Amino acid sequence: MFAIQISGGTPISEQLFTHISDLIISGALKENEKLPAVREVARELAINPNTVQKVYQLLEQKGFTYSLPGKGSYVKGRADYQDELRQTATEDFTEAVTKALKKGLNAEELINIIKNIGEKE
């Protein structure tokens, strides 16, 4: 179902959030598909149910899911979380460009890299 590493530097909640949001973004989890119950995920991963509940709440706050009281959490349609994706992509890109500039690449080199990536996609 969901894969996380208990040992390591990345917090369990962050790993779980990333894994579930990636499944939603990729389409592996479809619109209106029900997420597994909090207790089920906690039991399978041998983690605290509160951790899973916090991740589910964050997924809802970020627009990836919605919840129905007493019924669980469900995946929203892509249009509902598209703005969050664009914002996150912009932040990630800005961070990567800043690092590249600090390491000596110039704007022209970065533009060429972007063009090459665009041609491959």
Start-to-end CA span in the chain (Å): 29
- 62 and 87 fall within a common domain: no
User: Looking at residue 58, what is its pLDDT?
Assistant: 96
Residue 94 belongs to domain spanning: 80-120
Task: Show the tokens assigned to 65.
Answer: 């899911």
Residues recorded for the chain = 121
| Greatest distance between any 2 Cα atoms in the chain | 55
Task: Show the tokens assigned to 9.
Answer: 């530097």
For 40, 42, 46, 59, 91, the CA distances from 2, given in Å and listed in that order, are 11, 10, 12, 15, 26
Instruction: State how many domains the chain has.
Output: 2
- 71 and 88 fall within a common domain: no
Per-residue pLDDT of the chain (121 residues; tens, 9 = 90+): 677 887 778 899 999 999 999 999 989 999 999 999 999 999 999 999 999 999 999 999 999 999 999 999 999 998 878 888 888 889 999 999 999 999 999 999 999 999 999 888 7
Domain-embedded: residue 3: no
